[in-house]
Structure 1
Amino acid sequence: MAKQLVVRLRADGTVDAETIGMHGSECLDHIEALEALLDAETVSSSFTEAYTSASTSDSIPIDTEQSDGAP
């Protein structure tokens, strides 16, 4: 899935933004850039499941099995 930043400008002048296809804290960089472009400040935010899930390309396999020395 392509990474996207979806921005909605509401009739009352507020802006909603949503990141799609991003994992972990990488979404925060895009929100910070949007704040800078708009000279605005985030007043409310929430994290999605994607924030806590790891991208498969970022994952490092970890062997959790311990050997007791027996074959």
Structure 2
Amino acid sequence: MEDRWLSVDEIATYLGIKRDTVYKWLNNKRMPAHKVGRLWKFRKEEVDEWVTSGGAAEKPKDAKRP
């Protein structure tokens, strides 16, 4: 069983999204990630749980309502 940390590019590919979306989710939606030096690293299981619990669908915490 492979248990390793994924990079921004790898998690974007895994989720089928653009790398810019990963950075937006990190800033606005509190996507689960860990900073290692200057790099963001991800655990696939944490991201899976966050997505299935609706984290990717939520409005940003600081979003203003019209």
TM-score normalized by structure 1? 0.28
Q: Name whichever structure is richer in helix by fraction.
A: 2
More contact order relative to length (CA 8 Å, sep ≥ 6): 2
Structure with bigger gyration radius: 1
Relative to its length, the structure with more strand (as a share) is 1
Q: TM-score, structure 2 length as denominator? A: 0.30
